[in-house]
Structures are given as structure tokens and as C-alpha cells.
Amino acid sequence: MPRLTDARRELRRAQIAEAAVRCFGRNGLESTSIADITAESGLSAGSIYAHYRNKADLVRAAAREVLARRADVLGAYAAQEIPPAPDELLARLVAAIDPAEARVGVQTWGEATTDPAMCAIVTDLTDRMRALLHDCVTAWLTRAEGIEPAAAREQAASIAHRLMALYQAELLYAALRPPAPSAPPTSEDTP
């Protein structure tokens, strides 16, 4: 059997983690089984266990996947010539919330209260996201508002903290809304 390249291994891990996110978002962390993730990913259980030791390892990977996506978006905003103003930044982040991912995020927060490994992941990624918000706001204050970098950095700290809190509140709100029902197939969907 051919060995997977490192790039292919990472793609496979991402495929499994994304399938896990969909399952956890739909069924919850506790109610999702490895068999559910196997069916969702289209891979064998052996393939999943070749990449993840157990369900807890998959939960951690799913949490990283969900939280890392938001961090990537914030990094792109901070790199813009003129980053969005704080209100616009929050509006964009809120508009991009996927309810299934929000449910996974909130569930991982709950797990983080009793699982030290999950707590470390959630804390690290939350701190990273807050730092990226801080960078975005600092960039906006210096580039759009003309504030000196040191003063902008200091002023941005409290703004970033409030943005993070508001974003987390929106995640919770999105997670608590019932999933939208699937639309019935239309005549265009049937062969």
C-alpha cells in the first residue's frame, strides 16, 4: 500500500476534521460516534484511526479547525491596506458565522471547563483571535484614524476585548438557534 505524503496526510486529516465538525454541529459532541464521522467523511474507520487516536482527539481537532478559520479571516483583515473599522469588522465576522460551527464552538467551550487539553486549545485559540482583533483595530486606528502606533496599540486593547466578547455572544446566539430545516427538493433537483 502506498504511503501518504505529508501534504496528502494533512488533507486527509482536514477532511476528517471537517466531517467531524458537521457531525458535531448536527448531533452534538456526545451523540456523535466514530461511525457517524466515518459515514460523513466517506472514509473507513481504519483511515480515521490512522489519523486520530480516538474521539477526544477528533473533538480537539474539530475545535482547532473551527477556531482557526476565524483567526485566518482576521489575519487577512489586519493585512489590508485600510482594515475595517471595529463595527464593520464585527459585522463581517458575525455575517460569516456558520450555525453548525457555532454549535461546535460552544460545545467545545463546555468541554474546556472539564478537559484540561481542550481548555488549553480553546484558551490558546481564543487568545490568538483576540490578539488578531487587537492587530486589526491597531492597524485601523493607525492607518484610518492617524493615531500614533503606540497610542493606537494601547487604545486597541479595550476595543479588541469588547469585540471579542460581542463576537462570542453572537456565536452563542447562533448556536442556540434551531437549525434551519432542509428545503424540500424541487423539480430541478430530481432527474
What is the C-alpha to C-alpha distance for residues 178 and 37, in angstroms, rounded to an integer? Answer: 22
pLDDT tens digits, residue range 6-29?
888 888 988 999 899 889 888 988
Q: Where are the domains of the chain?
A: 6-176
Supply the pTM of this predicted model.
0.79
pLDDT at position 191, please? 47
CATH of 6-176 among 1.10.357.10, 3.40.50.720, 1.20.1050.40, 3.40.630.40: 1.10.357.10
Q: How confident is the model at residue 111 (pLDDT cuts 50, 70, 90)?
A: confident
pLDDT tens digits, residue range 23-54?
988 898 889 999 999 999 999 999 899 999 98
